Amino acid sequence: MLGLLKKSTGPKGRIGVAFAGDQIALAVVHRDGGTVILDRCELIPFNPKGGPEAVAATFRAADLPRLPISTVLRPDDYQLAMIEAPDVPPAELRAAMRWRLKDAIDFRVEDAVIDVFDVPAQNRGGQGRMMYAVAARRTSVERHAAALVTQPGFDVVDVPELCLRNLAALLPAAASGVALLHLGETMATIVLVRGSTFYFARQMDLQATLRIASGTIPSGRLDAASVVLELQRSLDYYERHFDQPPITRISVSPTSTRSVELAEDLSRETGLEVSTLELDSIMTCSLSLDAATQATCLLAVGAALRDEQLSL
C-alpha cells in the first residue's frame, strides 16, 4: 500500500526521504505546538547499487532519531488522475477505482498500486463525487519499500503533489488560497491549496516552454506566457468548479535564479502577488540552508511535514 491515508498517533515528528541518484535527501521535522521546526535537512551520498544494505548503512551513519519515515515517489513512478468515485462501499473503493483508471494512465492498470484521496465537493451538476486516484507503478513502490525495509519507522510512500501541499499549507497566503508552482528539471507542478486542503494539481512540460523561448527571451529562461496559460487554466478550474474566491498569490519553488526570474515575469504578466518559497520563511530552521540544498531537499521536507492528524 502507498499509505497515503494512513493515520498515526505516534511522535510529533517525521523523517522525509527522497532518492536522487547517488544521494539521499533527508529532512527531519517536528512540531512544537503551532511551530514547525526543521531539525535537519541534508544530502547524504550513498551507493544506489548497494541495495537495502547501502540504505541501512547510510541511515545508521546519519544517526537519525526514531521517528516515522515517509519516502517520495519520482514523477515517472506514478500518475495522478481526478476520477468520479464509483458508488461502492469504502472497502471496495480502491478495487473499483482501478478499472476506472484503465483509460486514464499510460501503463497497465494491472501493474499499478492504487490509492485515493478526496477533494472538496465540486459544482458539477449531475455528476457524482470526484476523487484523486494515484496509480503508482508497482515496481517503483516495491523498490522504495525494499530500500527502506530495514527502517522500523517506514510507513508511507507519498507523492510530490501531497508533499507540495504540505509546504503550501504553511504559507501565510494559504488561509485565503495560494498557488504553489514547483519547478523540477523537466516538469513543473502547480498545486492549489486553501488552508491545508488540497484542491487541484496540474503538471506542465518545462521543456516545451524552453523550446518556445526565443527572440527577446534569453536562452534557458522560461517563457512566462506559456506558464501563465497553464496557471490561468488551473485557477479558472478552481474558481469555477469549487466555487472559491480567486487566488491572487503565487509562490514559486525551489528558490533559484530560474525561479526568481520566472516570479518577476509572472508578476509582470499577471498582476498577481508572486514570490519565491524560502523554507526559513514558513518554518523555524535549526540550521542555515543554502539554495542548492533547499532545492534538492524540498520534497523530502514536504514529506517530513506530513501531519497524520489531518484527514485528506
Three-state DSSP at 214 gives coil
Q: How confident is the model at residue 3 (pLDDT cuts 50, 70, 90)?
A: low
Q: Which of 120, 139, 158 is the last residue of a domain?
A: 139
Domain match, 265 and 200 both: yes
| Residue 117: domain span | 75-139
Helix, strand, coil percentages for the chain (3-state, nearest 5): 35, 30, 35
> Is 0.95 surpassed by the pTM of this model?
no
Total structural domains in the chain? Answer: 2
- Is 78:134 a contact under the CB 8 Å cutoff? yes
Q: Output phi, psi for 26, to 5 deg.
A: -120, 140
Domain match, 198 and 260 both: yes
Cell output for 287: 540550521
What is the residue-averaged pLDDT of the chain? Answer: 87
194 falls within a domain: yes
43 falls within a domain: no
DSSP 8-class letter at 254: S
User: Higher model confidence: residue 135 or residue 122?
Assistant: 135
Domain match, 130 and 81 both: yes
- Is 35:13 a contact under the CB 8 Å cutoff? no
Domain match, 135 and 178 both: no
- Is 135:112 a contact under the CB 8 Å cutoff? yes
Pairing state between β 69-72 and 154-158: parallel
Residue 249 has pLDDT above 60, yes or no: yes
pLDDT value, residue 95: 83
Q: Rounded mean pLDDT of 227-236?
A: 94
Q: Which of 85, 119, 139 is the last residue of a domain?
A: 139
157 falls within a domain: no
Cell output for 185: 528539471
Domain match, 270 and 180 both: yes
The DSSP secondary structure of 147-162, one letter per residue, reads HHTT-TTEEEEE-HHH
190 falls within a domain: yes
Domain match, 209 and 268 both: yes
Q: How confident is the model at residue 4 (pLDDT cuts 50, 70, 90)?
A: low
Residue 183 has pLDDT above 90, yes or no: yes
pLDDT value, residue 211: 58
End-to-end CA distance of the chain: 16
User: What residue type is assigned to position 59 of the chain?
Assistant: F
247 falls within a domain: yes
The CATH number of whichever domain residue 111 belongs to comes to 3.30.420.380
Cell output for 43: 544530502
Domain match, 183 and 246 both: yes
pLDDT value, residue 219: 54
Domain match, 177 and 261 both: yes
Three-state DSSP at 104 gives coil
199 falls within a domain: yes
Q: How confident is the model at residue 91 (pLDDT cuts 50, 70, 90)?
A: confident
Residues in contact with 286: Cβ distance below 8 Å, sequence separation at least 6, in sequence order: 37, 38, 39, 40
Domain match, 185 and 257 both: yes
